[in-house]
């Protein structure tokens, strides 16, 4: 039965089972231009949806905006539409000095410091990427990532980008060995687990989240651009290998 997805403004019958998601609608368009015979399916708010071919399989690319709540709407509706595998192609801030801007991180799990997941699952529910997706991303990175360093590890999802009067938990999780921080992974991993679909995430490191190094933040440079371009192709190879 065909379903109308109200926020994505697409119908389930035109969605393939494999989808890449990203925050930036502009990045979704760039990814779509890598596909064979790309088609714009819909544009509504931050949700821009494209489809096309890669390695002989149909793939969709959908933007979800910034932050877990809006992204969760995208993830939920994709799954309602029959999607079986979702890989997030994003950016993140590094917690570790050896995970430098311009490198890539494949998230194995996310520390849930967001508000969204606290409203849909009880405390302690793990936000874990699918093992097969992690393996597919790491395999694709080894084959097509070139010289760009790739780190596999735990990331953290936080709602706030700019601080207020409360301190961010950066130092705590840095000491715990968390690799990087983003704003959507935990929502994706939890929702996918609840709905029984595969999910994972690869992120280009665009700076340091650590407050001591935050003044150096500048995501608009060649290192980050090259990492984003690499992760797009890695994610496409990975999702079509599932």
- CA-CA distance, 178 to 153, in Å (whole number)? 7
Pairing outcome for strands 150-158 and 180-182: parallel
Residue 85's contacts (CB-CB under 8 Å, 6 or more residues apart) are 17, 18, 19, 133, 197, 198, 199, 239, 242
- CA-CA distance, 17 to 202, in Å (whole number)? 19
Pairing outcome for strands 85-94 and 104-113: unpaired
Burial of 225: CB neighbours in 10 Å, binned 0-12, 13-18, 19+: middle
Active-site residues: which are they?
206
- CA-CA distance, 79 to 23, in Å (whole number)? 17
Nearest to residue 234, comparing CAs of 25, 4, 92, 31? 31
- CA-CA distance, 232 to 215, in Å (whole number)? 28
């Amino acid at each position: 039965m065909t379903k109308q997805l109200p926020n994505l403004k697409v119908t389930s019958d035109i969605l393939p089972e494999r989808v890449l998601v990203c925050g930036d609608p502009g990045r979704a368009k760039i990814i779509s231009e890598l596909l064979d015979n790309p088609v714009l399916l819909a544009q509504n708010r931050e949700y821009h949806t494209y489809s096309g071919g890669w390695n002989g399989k149909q793939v969709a690319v959908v933007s979800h905006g910034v932050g877990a709540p809006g992204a969760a709407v995208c993830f939920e509706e994709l799954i309602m539409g029959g999607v079986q595998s979702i890989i997030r192609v994003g950016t993140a801030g590094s917690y570790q000095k050896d995970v430098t801007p311009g490198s890539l991180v494949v998230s194995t799990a996310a520390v849930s410091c967001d508000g969204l997941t606290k409203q849909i699952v009880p405390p302690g529910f793990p936000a874990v990427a699918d093992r097969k997706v992690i393996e597919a991303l790491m395999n694709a990175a080894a084959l097509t990532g070139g010289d760009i360093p790739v780190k596999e590890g735990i990331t953290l999802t936080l709602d706030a980008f700019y601080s207020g009067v409360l301190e961010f938990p950066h130092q705590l999780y840095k000491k715990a060995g968390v690799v990087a921080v983003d704003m959507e992974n935990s929502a994706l991993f939890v929702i996918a687990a609840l709905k029984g679909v595969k999910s994972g995430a690869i992120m280009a490191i665009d700076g340091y989240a650590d407050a001591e190094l935050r003044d150096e933040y500048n995501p608009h440079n060649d290192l980050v651009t090259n990492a984003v371009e690499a992760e797009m192709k890695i994610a496409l190879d990975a999702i079509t290998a599932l």
